[in-house]
């Protein structure tokens, strides 16, 4: 009877059921032993946002981003945290649960997709931070030019989420098996992520960059995705080249990732 409930082995329904169970397990393990629990999903990006706000508002003259800067900053920082933490976890996706990966009959791709899903849920749970600062800005800011205005661009946010999920699944299919076969890639990935943070318009906008860096950064798939996240408040910052590039590159990385994953699945199982 239970098999009927969750679907037959090998069916999409069974896969999704297993994916949800593993993702829920990750979230329970992450927060069960923590006193603050869910609040860590809020505190991490909140503290980072306040630090950058202090640096660019009080310590240095700010000429990056858009007003209100705190809304601009958080709208880019929250999806970056999702991307950064998921990619970091990809490097340990198979070694962390090596026995389960070897012994279970479920598709091994589920160990990557559960990271994308669980980190995505944490991202959605952190969105109240953005909503809070939007409300505070509306209440305390007297200058209309510095007030967060929510427009029709908010409809682009689901598109941004889908594109980021597509990009992350493709990256996970590449990073996870390669890190099993080449252990040095785990540290290499950490270094790349540090550099990528500054090569991605999180604390600044593409419009702040001179040529040729404006065009170069536009080919970063995260650039267009972050533009769509910010479109609700800053539609004037949206450019078609980065958005189209993000869609094409994300789908391309997904296709390459699936091909690499299938080619390396057996060598990875032998290595584990």
What digits encode the pLDDT tens for the residues 100-156? Answer: 777 777 788 888 998 999 899 889 888 888 888 888 888 877 666 677 778 888 899
Phi, psi at 246, each rounded to 5°: -60, -45
Give the mean pLDDT of the chain: 84
pLDDT surpassing 70 at residue 220: yes
d(CA 225, CA 201): 10
Q: Which residues of 75-110 are buried (b: 16+ CB within 10 A; e: fewer)?
A: bbbbbbbbbbbbbbbbbebbbebeeebeeeebebbb
Radius of gyration, alpha carbons of the chain: 20
The residue ranking higher by pLDDT, 96 or 228, is: 228
pLDDT surpassing 80 at residue 27: no
State the angle between helix axes of 240-271 and 157-181 in degrees (0 to 180), rounded to the nearest 10: 30
If you count them, how many residues does the chain have?
272
Contact 202, 80 (CB under 8 A): yes
Contact 99, 54 (CB under 8 A): no
pLDDT in tens, 165-216: 999 999 999 999 999 999 889 899 999 999 999 999 998 899 888 888 888 9
């Amino acid at each position: 009877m239970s098999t009927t409930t969750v679907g037959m082995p090998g069916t999409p329904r069974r896969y999704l059921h297993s994916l949800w169970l593993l993702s829920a397990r990750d979230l329970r393990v992450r927060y069960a032993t923590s006193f603050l629990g869910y609040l860590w999903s809020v505190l991490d990006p909140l503290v980072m946002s306040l630090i950058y706000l202090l640096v660019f508002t009080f310590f240095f003259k700010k000429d990056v981003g858009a007003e209100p800067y705190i809304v601009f900053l958080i709208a880019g920082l929250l999806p970056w945290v999702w991307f950064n933490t998921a990619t970091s976890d990809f490097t340990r996706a198979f070694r962390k649960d090596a026995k389960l990966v070897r012994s279970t009959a479920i598709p091994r791709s589920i160990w990557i997709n559960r990271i994308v899903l669980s980190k995505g849920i944490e991202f959605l749970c952190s969105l109240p931070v953005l909503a809070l600062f939007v409300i505070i800005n509306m209440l305390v800011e007297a200058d209309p030019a510095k007030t967060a205005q929510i427009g029709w661009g908010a409809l682009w946010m689901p598109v941004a989420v889908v594109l980021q999920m597509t990009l992350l699944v493709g990256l996970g299919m590449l990073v996870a098996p390669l890190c099993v076969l080449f252990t040095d890639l785990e540290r290499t990935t950490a270094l790349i992520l540090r550099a990528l943070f500054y090569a991605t318009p999180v604390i600044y906008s593409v419009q702040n960059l001179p040529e040729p860096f404006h065009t170069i950064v536009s080919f970063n798939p995260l650039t267009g995705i972050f533009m769509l996240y910010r479109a609700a408040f800053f539609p004037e910052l949206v450019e078609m080249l980065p958005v189209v590039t993000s869609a094409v590159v994300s789908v391309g990385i997904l296709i390459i990732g699936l091909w690499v994953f299938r080619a390396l699945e057996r060598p990875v199982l032998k290595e584990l």
